[in-house]
Structure 1
Amino acid sequence: MASILIVEDEVAINELIKRNLQLVGHHCTPVFDGKTAISEIQCQSYDLMILDIMLPGLDGFEVIKHANETPTIFLTAKNSLPDRIKGFSMGADDYLTKPFEMLELLARVEAVLRRTQKSRNDFEVGDVKIDFDGHQVYHKGQLVECTPKEYELLEVLVNNRNIALSRERLLELVWGYDFDGDTRTIDVHIQKLRKKLGWEDVIKTVYKLGYRLEVSQ
């Protein structure tokens, strides 16, 4: 997976981001100030940098000047329109403001990595292969017929692998906030995916919460 530099001076936030990115398979290097960040990107190649603006010493706007074309997501409390415009004009690939949802950050990371071709366009575990570009799923080399919602649910589980997702959150991510159905919809679709892919032991039930796609790193 990707090599990601996390530039965030708040230790707890830095650690939270690192742990969640590592859960989905990325390699992370945490730094806590602008000067160290510049040193890192000058001596090491990274697939992505997650960058705060308000940092000790040199701020994020100064750091991105030295990014050496490293794809960058600004993650910051500075949420004014001028700051956003400045961030994008300096070459940021995305701009996310605090407070933020971790699942949204993971989705934006995946989107930037795919857009910059730093992420594989397929996913394999056991006998299952998913072609993200073609929206096709294979089991033991055979094409598996999935409904659009089954595929969307599968992609959400894969992109957030090893992370427990509640039924309510899965409904929001796949069906949207205005969906009138209930959480049993998730259970039905999960059972269908398990059966089609032979993933009875891969899609884990998280007691009283929801589901987790469990894969080794």
Structure 2
Amino acid sequence: MANILVVEDEKPISDLITMNLKLVGHQFVKAFSGAEMLPILEQEQFDLILLDVMLPGLDGFEMIRRIRHHHVPVIFITARDSLADRITGFDLGAEDYIIKPFEILELLARINVVLRRNVQEHTEFMADGVDVHLAARKIYKDGEIVELTAREFDLLEVLIQNRNIALSREKLLELAWGYEFEGDTRTVDVHIRQLRKKLGWEERIKTVFKLGYRLESEG
């Protein structure tokens, strides 16, 4: 997965972001100001920077100007929600501009979009003899190919990208079927049963009581 630099001066928000990055398998480094961020960038390579705008000292807009030579994609995360600020952020080269407060699942989804667009990241997931190649959309179990429908694979990809996070049936429909899908949430249960059967993941894909499902992963 990706190595992400989180530059956020509010510790509770920084902790929330990094806790969830860890849950889905990303690595991270924290910084709490622009001054702290600069030497870290000189010492380590990152796939993405999550950058607050209202930082102590130099703000995020100035920081993105100073780090352009590193060629690392940036997502702004900020309470500054004016149209002028958003335009400034994109004009400076940001990949995305997320307004606080935000839903953590939306943040993770937007991170995945930027990583897919910019990073040749590791796109395999392995568990219990199953090897999932996300980019190639191929799955092997004990060396044998496993045939999934397109929708089953879409659902599996969402579970992998949000592993160790409990997702409601409605959220799974939204992420795997699309925002405009208006079908019965029981279709999620049907597809989960098929995934469990085909992959042998009866214990890997957990049912979360009165909510939905969670894919458990050690890494």
Q: Match for 1:22: what amino acid?
A: K
Which of 112, 115, 119 in structure 2 is aligned with 1:113?
115
The CA distance in 1 between the partners of 2:55 and 2:214, in whole Å, is: 35
Q: Which residue is equivalent to 1:147?
A: 149
- Aligned 8 A contact 2:47 2:119 in 1: no
TM-score by length of 2: 0.91
Q: Which residue is equivalent to 1:52?
A: 52
- Aligned 8 A contact 1:47 1:118 in 2: no
- Aligned 8 A contact 1:49 1:71 in 2: yes
The Cα RMSD (Å) is: 1.7
What is the deviation of 1:208?
Answer: 1.7
- Farther off after superposition, 47-56 or 107-116: 107-116
Query: What is the percent sequence identity of the aligned residues?
Result: 56
- Aligned 8 A contact 2:79 2:101 in 1: yes
- Aligned 8 A contact 1:162 1:213 in 2: yes
User: Secondary structure at the residue paired with 2:66?
Assistant: coil
The CA distance in 2 between the partners of 1:104 and 1:37, in whole Å, is: 25
Q: Which residue is equivalent to 2:126?
A: 124
Deviations 1:92-135 (A, max 9, x none): 22222222221111112122222222521332223222222222
Q: Which residue is equivalent to 1:14?
A: 14
* 5+ residue gaps, structure 1: none
What is the deviation of 1:163?
Answer: 0.5
- Aligned 8 A contact 1:4 1:48 in 2: yes
Q: Match for 1:113: what amino acid?
A: L
Q: Which residue is equivalent to 1:184?
A: 186
Q: Which residue is equivalent to 1:196?
A: 198
* Structure 1 stretches of at least 4 aligned residues deviating more than 4 Å after TM superposition: none
User: Secondary structure at the residue paired with 1:150?
Assistant: helix
After superposition, the Cα gap between the structure-2 partners of 1:11 and 1:118, relative to the gap in structure 1 and judged at 3 Å, is: farther
After superposition, the Cα gap between the structure-2 partners of 1:16 and 1:118, relative to the gap in structure 1 and judged at 3 Å, is: farther
- Farther off after superposition, 148-157 or 131-140: 131-140
What is the deviation of 1:48?
Answer: 1.3
* 5+ residue gaps, structure 2: none
Q: Match for 1:189: what amino acid?
A: H
Q: Match for 1:7: what amino acid?
A: V
Q: Match for 1:144: what amino acid?
A: V
Q: Which residue is equivalent to 1:93?
A: 95
TM-score by length of 1: 0.92
- Aligned 8 A contact 1:9 1:33 in 2: yes
The CA distance in 1 between the partners of 2:180 and 2:152, in whole Å, is: 18
Q: Which residue is equivalent to 1:5?
A: 5
The CA distance in 2 between the partners of 1:127 and 1:163, in whole Å, is: 22
After superposition, the Cα gap between the structure-2 partners of 1:178 and 1:90, relative to the gap in structure 1 and judged at 3 Å, is: closer
Mapping for residues 56-95 of structure 1, pairs under 5 Å: 56-67=56-67, 68-95=70-97
